[in-house]
């Protein structure tokens, strides 16, 4: 009969075969000396490589390793949720598979947890591991979201986090589909603290967050916590309408004073600007509409295709 684990480490995998063994070793090295019962829950997010076979092999050698395999790629945030739902521990730690979330920080996070914090977030101190592009896009994103959304998320936040059972059970009540875990956790309240860590480069392989996935993630974060883009669209519409009205009066006056000229440039500029603003406004509405549409279908968030025994 396996012992009930006290700590569950949840790790989503998407084509991470090159990292799994190193990660497993690093985790054992960091957690074993603490003499606490733990389990490692791998969630294979529809990998096309041998990730899940490796998890199965590891699990047969080390009974503390468990794994589920999702029926296809559902994305990092959903994979995280799937793993959190599987976790049995009183303390749950979520982290990435590429060793950019260093397991050596875990004892520090557990420490903070034992000082009475329900949620221990982490903050990435940009080290050599973060590319200039990632630093720039991440900084822009946090500036924007903190300005327009109803929550505040510190720069460098990630989903490397500890939660106790009370916080996790509350978190699992969120039924949202386009999930922005960082925002949801911030919104939850409870006693939260932050631990800093330096982010090393990816151990092996390439980032699984494509530019498209990053943009989608950013849009999820903003639309989930703010209706301000919709308001900005209507303000823009109003301002452009006023400018248009003034220009129309000007055009009519010009007409009656007989000073009309061919006016190719002014026509083109007006049509382009108006068209652009209309499309932008429609796009913003569309982003919200698509999310309402997604929610309204209430489909299951994921399916599990395989499990370790």
Please give the helix or strand (H or E) that residue 142 lies within, else none: helix 132-148
Where in 95-154 is the site for ligand UDP (CB under 6 A)? 96-98, 100
For the CB of residue 265, give the shortest distance to ligand UDP in the complex, in Å: 45
Partner whose footprint covers residue 156, from Mg ion, ligand UDP, none (CB < 5 to 8 Å by kind) = none
Q: Does 159 bind Mg ion (CB under 5 A)?
A: no
Binding mask 252-281 for ligand UDP (x = CB under 6 A): ------------------------------
| Paired tokens of 267 | 């026509």
For the CB of residue 180, give the shortest distance to Mg ion in the complex, in Å: 18
Instruction: Tell me whether residue 118 or residue 130 sits nearer to ligand UDP (CB atom).
Output: 130
Q: Does 179 bind ligand UDP (CB under 6 A)?
A: no
Backbone angles phi, psi at 131, to 5 degrees: -70, 160
Sort residue 116 into left (φ over 0), alpha (ψ -120 to 50) or beta: left
Choose, by CB under 6 A, the member of 5, 9, 12, 308 that binds ligand UDP: 12
Instruction: Tell me whether residue 23 or residue 58 sits nearer to Mg ion (CB atom).
Output: 23
In 62-127, alpha helices (H): 76-86, 106-114
Strands of the sheet with 304-307, listed across from one edge: 192-198, 119-125, 161-164, 91-94, 7-13, 38-44, 65-70, 304-307
Q: Does 98 bind Mg ion (CB under 5 A)?
A: yes
Q: Does 94 bind ligand UDP (CB under 6 A)?
A: no
Q: Does 38 bind ligand UDP (CB under 6 A)?
A: no
Pick the closest to residue 195 from 224, 242, 148, 158 (CA basis).
158
Instruction: Tell me whether residue 24 or residue 56 sits nearer to Mg ion (CB atom).
Output: 24
Instruction: Tell me whether residue 56 or residue 182 sits nearer to Mg ion (CB atom).
Output: 182
For the CB of residue 64, give the shortest distance to Mg ion in the complex, in Å: 24
Instruction: Tell me whether residue 129 or residue 237 sits nearer to ligand UDP (CB atom).
Output: 129
Q: Does 44 bind Mg ion (CB under 5 A)?
A: no
Pick the closest to residue 103 from 203, 178, 188 (CA basis).
203
For the CB of residue 12, give the shortest distance to Mg ion in the complex, in Å: 11
**Long-range contacts for 295-304 (Cβ within 8 Å, ≥24 apart)?**
295/176, 295/177, 299/177, 301/74, 301/78, 301/81, 301/82, 301/177, 302/70, 302/71, 302/74, 302/78, 302/79, 302/81, 302/82, 303/70, 303/71, 303/72, 304/68, 304/69, 304/70, 304/71, 304/82
Pick the closest to residue 96 from 166, 5, 197 (CA basis).
197
> Within 10 Å of residue 19's Cβ, how many Cβ atoms?
23
Binding mask 60-79 for ligand UDP (x = CB under 6 A): -------------x-xx--x
Q: Does 94 bind Mg ion (CB under 5 A)?
A: no
For the CB of residue 171, give the shortest distance to ligand UDP in the complex, in Å: 18
Residues lying near Mg ion in the complex (CB under 5 A) are found at 96, 98, 100
Residues that bind ligand UDP (CB under 6 A): 12-14, 16, 45, 73, 75-76, 79, 96-98, 100, 207-209
């Amino acid at each position: 009969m396996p012992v009930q684990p006290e700590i569950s480490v949840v790790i989503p995998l998407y084509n991470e075969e090159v990292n799994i063994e190193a990660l497993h070793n690093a985790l054992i090295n960091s957690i074993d000396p603490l003499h606490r019962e733990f389990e490692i829950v791998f969630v294979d997010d529809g990998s096309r490589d041998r990730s899940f076979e490796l998890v199965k092999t590891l699990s047969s050698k080390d009974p503390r390793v468990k794994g589920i395999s999702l029926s296809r790629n559902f994305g990092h945030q959903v994979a995280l949720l799937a793993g959190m739902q599987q976790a049995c521990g009183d303390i749950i730690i979520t982290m990435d598979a590429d060793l950019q979330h260093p397991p050596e920080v875990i004892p520090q996070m557990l420490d903070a947890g034992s000082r009475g914090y329900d949620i221990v977030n982490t903050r990435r101190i940009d080290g050599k591991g973060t590319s200039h592009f990632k630093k720039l896009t991440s900084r822009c994103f946090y500036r924007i979201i903190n300005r327009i959304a109803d929550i505040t998320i510190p720069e460098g936040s990630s989903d490397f986090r500890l939660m106790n059972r009370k916080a996790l059970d509350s978190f699992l009540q969120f039924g949202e589909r386009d999930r922005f875990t960082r925002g949801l956790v911030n919104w939850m309240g409870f006693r939260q603290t932050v631990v800093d860590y330096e982010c090393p480069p990816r151990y092996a392989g390439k980032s699984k967050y494509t530019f498209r996935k990053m943009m989608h993630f950013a849009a999820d974060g903003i639309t989930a916590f703010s209706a301000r883009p919709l308001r900005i669209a209507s303000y823009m519409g109003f301002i452009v309408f006023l400018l248009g009205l003034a220009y129309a009066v000007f055009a009519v006056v010009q007409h009656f004073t007989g000073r009309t000229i061919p006016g190719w440039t002014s026509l083109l500029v007006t049509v382009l600007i108006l068209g652009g603003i209309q499309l932008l406004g429609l796009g913003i509405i569309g982003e919200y509409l698509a999310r309402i549409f997604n929610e309204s279908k209430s489909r299951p968030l994921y399916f599990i295709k395989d499990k370790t025994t």
